[in-house]
Structure formats: structure tokens, C-alpha cells
Amino acid sequence: MSSVHVSPLSTYLTIFGALMVLSAITVGAAFINLGSFNPVVALAIAGIKATLVVLYFMHVKYSSRLTKLTVVLSLFFVAILFAETLMDYATRGWMNYTPMQQ
């Protein structure tokens, strides 16, 4: 009757080990000058760590497609939040407008 997926102990320990290694890499990478790629690397590593937590610790890998869709939706909404806001703020300097008369 039970449809719950029980992951083996080794899965949790492996993921924990991977998260520790990635944390060490994040700190190490911050001390190397990669120019504008420093934040890219930092966020990429954080993204991989978050994905591991979501898939294995939060069992999304073994969850229903509806749950998976909900997880992806949260990223989609955050993408909208970031894209729309940055579209505004990053392009304000493009306009050569004159301030309105008081």
C-alpha cells in the first residue's frame, strides 16, 4: 500500500558530502579573481546545492509531476520578478529625457 519512496542512507550521506565540497569550492572561488564571473560562479554553485537539496532531501525527484510543476513554477515566478524589475532599472539610463517642469 505504501507508495512512499524510502531513499537509502547512502544517498543522504553522499548528498551531504557533495554539499560540503561545494561549500568549500564557493569559499575558494571567492578568493580567485574571475572578474565578472565571480558572482556567476557563486550563484551557479548555490544553484547546484539548492537543486541537490530539492531533489534528494526534499524528495522532489520521487514526487508527482504536479509537485514537480509547482517547484518549477516557483522558479518561473521568481524569474518574472527579476526580469521585469531589471528590465526597468537596467534601462533607465537609456532615456535621454528632460525632467518635467515644476
Partner 1 sequence: MHGHDHAHEHHPSLQHHFSTMSQQREAGVLGMWVFLLTEVLFFGGLFITYTLYRMWYYEAFAAASKSIEITPGLINTVVLIGSSLTMALSVRASQTNQRKATVNWLIATIILGSVFLGIKVYEYADKFEHHHVPGASFQFAHEPAPGEAHVAPAEGGHVATMGPDQLQRTTQLFFSLYFVMTGLHALHMIVGIVILFIIAWMAHKGRFDSEYHAPVEMTGLYWHFVDIVWIFLFPLLYLVERHN
**Residues binding partner 1 (CB under 8 A):** 1-4, 6-7, 9, 12-13, 16, 19-20, 23, 26-27, 30-33, 38, 42-43, 45-46, 49-50, 53-54, 56-58, 63-64, 66-67, 70-71, 73-75, 77-78, 81-82, 85-86, 89-90
Q: Are 12 and 56 in contact (CB under 8 A)?
A: yes
Q: Which three cell numbers stand for residue 37?
A: 564571473
CB of 27 to partner 1, least distance (A): 6
CB of 99 to partner 1, least distance (A): 20
Cβ-based nearer residue to partner 1, 62 or 98: 62
**CA–CA distances in Å: residue 35 to residues 14, 24, 30, 38, 40:** 32, 20, 10, 6, 10
d(CA 47, CA 22) in angstroms, rounded, equals: 11
